[in-house]
Amino acid sequence: MRGKKRVIKVGNVPVKSREQIEGIRESGKINTMVLDFVEEHIKAGISTQEIDDWVRKVTADNGAICAPYHYEGFPKSVCTSVNSVICHGIPSKDEILKEGDIINVDVSTIYKGYFSDASRMFCIGNVSADKKRLVKTAKEAIQVGLMEVKPFAPLGNMGHAIHMYAKSQGYTVVEEIGGHGVGLEFHEDPFVSYVSPKGSGPVMVPGMVFTIEPMINMGSPEFYVDAKNGWTVYTEDGMPSAQWEVTVAVMDDGYEVLTY
């Protein structure tokens, strides 16, 4: 655990050692396993609370902890964001998935003190062509961003590439909510913008670990937060939103995706 405690920073950004990246990698394996389980079982007719139950059980069965649970007061173990919910949807026994829904399931795991984070989109039954295209574009945006993850390149290059790609497909990108550093804590520096100018932001150095998780909207990028629960973020115009997320480490020779 000596490597876990020793934190090297470039500016405010933690730079992980090889040992620490290995710890995040192991956490990421469990995180990916949990999402695989959800993918195998999700269908119309289940509640989002059932997804929370699955995530909690599979995580615990593998000796890990669900990072969102009680994080800054969040009441559940996973975020489930359906249709016009951009992020931070709270699982409920009263929210039943139906044919035509799209849902983002965002899983975050702590294993032996190391944090990992990823999310996937799922299409429930027969989904409209418009929603399918949105989900596909959001997934492609991750790959566009990964192509810009290079040692000593500006982080803003990634956000700029994602923004331009989403725009070219006729979509918008949420500006105020973005990715984050992760690994030794749930949320670390840097903030990862997906509307950043090319050449902006901190330089990506080997050992940086962060999430790529652009939120792509079918309509306006504007949003509002649920006034009752203080967490759930909705598109202002009620149009669908889609998001995929990976945890990525900057390596000496490029990058490594640690969660899928």
pLDDT tens for 41-66 read 999 999 999 999 999 999 999 999 99
* CATH code of 247's domain: 3.90.230.10
* In-domain check, residue 48: yes
Q: What is the pLDDT of residue 259?
A: 96
Is the residue at 5 inside a domain?
no
Cβ atoms of 62 and 90 within 8 Å: the answer is no
Q: Which domain holds residue 74?
A: 13-257
Query: C-alpha 89: how far from its chain's center?
Result: 13
- Centroid of chain to Cα 141: 13
Q: Is the pLDDT of residue 254 over 60?
A: yes
In the predicted model, is pLDDT for residue 9 greater than 90?
A: no
Q: How confident is the model at residue 8 (pLDDT cuts 50, 70, 90)?
A: confident
CA distance 216 to 12: 28
* Stated pTM of the model: 0.95
Q: What is the pLDDT of residue 260?
A: 87
Nearest residue to 245 via CA among 192, 171, 197: 192
Confidence of residue 6 (pLDDT cuts 50, 70, 90): low
Whole-angstrom distance, CA of residue 203 vs CA of residue 153: 5
In a domain, 237, yes or no: yes
Mean pLDDT of 98-113: 99
Number of separate domains in the chain? 1
Measured distance between the N- and C-terminal CA atoms of the chain, rounded to whole angstroms: 26
Of all residues in the chain, what percent carry a pLDDT higher than 70?
Answer: 97
Return the closest-CA partner of residue 220 out of 240, 249, 204. Answer: 240
Q: What is the pLDDT of residue 1?
A: 37
Asked if the structure places residue 2 within a domain, the reply is no
Residue 4 lies in a domain: no
- Residue 59 or residue 8, greater confidence: 59
Residue 3 lies in a domain: no
Q: Is residue 25 part of a domain?
A: yes
**The pLDDT value given to residue 43:** 99
Confidence of residue 2 (pLDDT cuts 50, 70, 90): very low
Confidence of residue 3 (pLDDT cuts 50, 70, 90): very low
Segment 192-201 mean pLDDT: 94
C-alpha distances in angstroms, 153 versus 124, 209, 255? 39, 14, 12
Residue 241 lies in a domain: yes
Structure tokens at 140: 């492609």
